[in-house]
């Protein structure tokens, strides 16, 4: 039995390999901590209040903008402060993105990937105008874009929509000159930043017949909170993908070539390693380079789908990896995936639910970037429930995986009781294999824990602007790049260490007794199983017959 590289690699070479992998892991953390900026930035923009141009309500070719040769009359401010409803339909809130800095005009970079817009209304308290607890704000939102070489007035329509958003406002003090405390309102989400400048015109139409904006109070100002991925972080992230991608592809080809050199069919664990390497390769593909030349608004959806497939395969692999070493049954069913259908059903159900949620949210945003599942109380509660359930499910999965690993250790310990009856050479051989396997299982638990933590933090950081303004989640680039590097290094190590070894037991005269013992051991009827991936699984399936 040749076994795997994990079992046959010398201690010196294995130590060198582990040290090199740990150095690579440390470098990934350093890259995120010392080179990459924070993953995302937030820029609040106070809307410029302009007087609407007659006839522009039904004409999306007329745009109001405040910078450059801006077509914007701001004489309506005094009328708003007097709260004259006759002026309500003449008000337009104008937002030009991005804001200038230190007197210099800035533009968005295609490296920044995405743009999220959140509205924060300033509603003045007035004793005669009480905001309805169940008020709905009707928003006529129109988004336009232009590029550097375009004239100041060459705004082109990107998207427009008439949206209804629930207001959640409370007043702490029942006196005038105080503002209601209102929750943020999700407005739009762009999956790409292909253009240099964006312009948002917002109208709050008042109509007594259609009951639009009658109970929203005196809206004095609107703030737009824009959230975008930092271009510097994207460059570091894509650079990591560019480096890892060829290494994982090369090691998969090398692994599959070694497997096919054997005189047997690949076993389940080898198939799972190939599936895992394949999904990691898909995740590593640096397709973000295409966004520098092409407008790809589906990138957010595609990125989430790629990561979801990788998560599903990684979680499934861990269950199979632990299950294959529990070895409860001794028949050939362990070489198929159907024996694990109970274990994998929770992963499948969770992934299907994630897929449906993702399509309902970002799939619709491909057609209408102003759509959001968070726009209503029911939708926001449903989405928040999903995040909580996903976090709880991840926690239960980790506990179940720990339980399976504990069973593996118990199973190995029971079989280990037969070691003292073996000869010294064979006992040392199997003890070394067991110690290496235990170290690998502990590394698996650490990788699983960091993966669960990363998933929960990612979901919370994405939702904090949408469902609770008081939630503050701080995560560093070092953690993100470290976890991403850990996935690649861990899977790279698994593929290398579980590749079939070409090293055979020594055949010189000094080791003839060891060889004869191994031949005798494998010649027993209960021992012969050519489909075993390693001598550890063969050893764990039975008590030694010495």
Question: Do 444 and 515 sit in the same domain of this protein?
Answer: yes
Question: Do 22 and 167 sit in the same domain of this protein?
Answer: no
Q: Which residues contact 388 (CB under 8 A, 6 or more apart)?
A: none
Question: Do 279 and 399 sit in the same domain of this protein?
Answer: yes
Classify residue 545: in a domain, yes or no: no
Q: When comparing pLDDT for 334 and 304, which is higher?
A: 304
pLDDT for position 328: 44
DSSP states of 164-232 as a string? Answer: EEE--EE-SS-STT-B-EE--EEEEEES---SSEEEEEEE---BTTTTBSSSS-EEEEEEEEEEEE-HH
Question: Do 269 and 182 sit in the same domain of this protein?
Answer: no
Instruction: Please report which confidence band the pLDDT of residue 201 belongs to, taking 50, 70 and 90 as the band edges.
Output: very high
pLDDT at 197 over 70: yes
pLDDT tens-place string over residues 288-331: 999 999 999 889 889 989 988 998 898 888 888 887 776 544 44
**In this structure, how many other beta carbons lie within 10 angstroms of the beta carbon of residue 326?**
16
Q: When comparing pLDDT for 75 and 140, which is higher?
A: 140
> Which stretches of 204-360 are assigned E, i.e. beta strand?
218-229
Question: Do 458 and 372 sit in the same domain of this protein?
Answer: yes
Domain limits at 333?
5-39+233-540
Q: Say whether 146 sits in a helix, a strand or coil.
A: strand
**What is the mean predicted confidence (pLDDT) over 104-116?**
90
pLDDT tens-place string over residues 410-449: 877 776 676 676 666 666 666 667 777 777 777 877 887 7
pLDDT at 121 over 50: yes
Q: Which residues contact 258 (CB under 8 A, 6 or more apart)?
A: 499, 500, 502
pLDDT at 451 over 60: yes
**What is the mean predicted confidence (pLDDT) over 74-101?**
71
pLDDT for position 351: 76
Q: Which of 194, 228, 262 is the last residue of a domain?
A: 228
Question: Do 386 and 281 sit in the same domain of this protein?
Answer: yes
* Whether 311 contacts 455, CB under 8 Å: yes
Instruction: Please report which confidence band the pLDDT of residue 473 belongs to, taking 50, 70 and 90 as the band edges.
Output: very low
Nearest CA to 116 out of 12, 241, 229, 14 is that of 229
How far apart CA 469 and CA 463 sit, in angstroms, is: 10
* Whether 217 contacts 124, CB under 8 Å: yes
Classify residue 370: in a domain, yes or no: yes
In a 10 Å sphere around its CB, with 0-12 CB exposed, 13-18 middle and 19+ buried, how is residue 126 labelled? middle
Structure tokens at 12: 């010196």
**What is the mean predicted confidence (pLDDT) over 58-77?**
72
Classify residue 304: in a domain, yes or no: yes
**What is the mean predicted confidence (pLDDT) over 401-417?**
77
Average pLDDT, the chain: 77
pLDDT at 155 over 80: yes
Establish how many alpha carbons lie within 13 A of residue 185's alpha carbon, considering only the half-sphere containing its beta carbon. Answer: 24
Question: Do 434 and 406 sit in the same domain of this protein?
Answer: yes
Classify residue 214: in a domain, yes or no: yes
pLDDT at 226 over 80: yes
CATH code of the domain in which 23 resides:
1.20.1070
Q: Which percentage of the chain shows pLDDT scores above 90?
A: 21
Rg (CA), the chain: 30
Answer yes or no: pTM beyond 0.85.
no
181 pairs with which residues across the strands? 170
CATH code of the domain in which 129 resides:
2.60.120
How far apart CA 269 and CA 498 sit, in angstroms, is: 9
pLDDT for position 141: 92
Question: Do 319 and 195 sit in the same domain of this protein?
Answer: no
**What is the mean predicted confidence (pLDDT) over 6-35?**
87
Question: Do 224 and 245 sit in the same domain of this protein?
Answer: no
Question: Do 312 and 197 sit in the same domain of this protein?
Answer: no
Q: When comparing pLDDT for 523 and 200, which is higher?
A: 200
pLDDT at 20 over 80: yes
């Amino acid at each position: 039995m040749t076994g795997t590289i994990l079992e046959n690699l010398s201690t010196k070479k294995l130590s060198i390999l582990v040290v090199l992998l740990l150095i690579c892991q440390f470098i990934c953390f350093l890259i995120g901590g010392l080179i990459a900026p924070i993953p995302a930035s937030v820029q609040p923009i106070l809307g410029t209040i302009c007087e609407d141009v007659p006839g522009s309500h039904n004409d999306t070719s007329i745009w109001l903008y405040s910078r450059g040769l801006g077509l914007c009359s701001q004489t309506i401010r005094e009328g708003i402060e007097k709260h004259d409803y006759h002026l309500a339909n003449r008000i337009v809130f104008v937002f030009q993105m991005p804001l200038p800095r230190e007197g210099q005009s800035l533009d968005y970079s295609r490296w920044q990937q995405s743009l999220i817009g959140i509205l924060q209304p300033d509603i003045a308290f007035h004793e005669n105008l009480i905001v309805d607890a169940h008020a709905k704000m009707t928003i006529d939102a129109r988004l336009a874009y232009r590029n550097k070489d375009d004239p100041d007035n060459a705004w082109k329509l990107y998207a427009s929509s008439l949206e209804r958003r629930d207001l959640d406002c409370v007043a702490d003090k029942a006196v005038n000159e105080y503002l209601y405390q209102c929750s943020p309102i999700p407005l739009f989400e762009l999956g790409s930043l292909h253009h240099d400048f964006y312009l948002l015109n917002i109208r709050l139409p008042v109509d007594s017949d259609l009951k639009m904006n009658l109970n929203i109070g005196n809206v004095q100002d609107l703030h737009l909170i824009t959230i975008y991925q930092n271009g510097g972080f994207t460059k570091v992230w894509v650079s990591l993908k560019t480096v890892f991608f060829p290494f994982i592809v090369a090691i998969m080809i090398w692994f599959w070539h070694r497997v096919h050199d054997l005189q047997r069919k690949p076993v389940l664990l080898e198939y799972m390693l190939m599936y895992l390497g394949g999904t990691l390769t898909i995740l590593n593909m640096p397709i973000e380079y295409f966004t520098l030349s092409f407008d790809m608004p589906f990138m957010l959806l595609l990125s989430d789908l790629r990561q979801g497939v990788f998560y599903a395969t990684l979680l499934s692999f861990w269950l199979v990896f632990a299950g294959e070493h529990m070895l409860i049954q001794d028949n050939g069913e362990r070489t198929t995936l159907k024996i694990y259908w109970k274990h994998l059903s929770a992963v499948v159900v969770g992934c299907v639910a994630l897929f449906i949620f993702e399509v309902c949210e970002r799939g619709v945003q491909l057609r209408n970037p102003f759509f959001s599942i968070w726009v209503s109380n029911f939708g926001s509660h449903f989405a928040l429930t999903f995040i909580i359930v996903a976090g709880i499910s991840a926690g239960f999965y980790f506990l179940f995986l720990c339980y399976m690993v504990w069973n593996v250790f118990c199973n190995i310990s029971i079989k280990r009781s037969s070691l003292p009856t073996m000869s010294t050479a064979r006992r040392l051989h199997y003890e070394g294999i067991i110690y290496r396997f235990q170290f690998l299982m502990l590394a698996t638990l650490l990788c699983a824990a960091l993966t669960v933590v990363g998933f929960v933090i990612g979901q919370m950081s994405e939702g904090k602007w949408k469902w609770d303004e008081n939630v503050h989640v701080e995560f560093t680039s070092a953690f993100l790049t470290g976890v991403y590097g850990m996935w690649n290094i861990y899977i790279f190590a698994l593929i290398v260490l579980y590749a079939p070894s070409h090293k055979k037991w020594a055949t010189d005269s000094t080791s003839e007794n060891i060889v004869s013992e191994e031949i005798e051991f494998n010649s027993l009827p209960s021992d012969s199983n050519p489909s075993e991936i390693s001598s550890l699984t063969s050893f764990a399936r039975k008590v030694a017959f010495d």
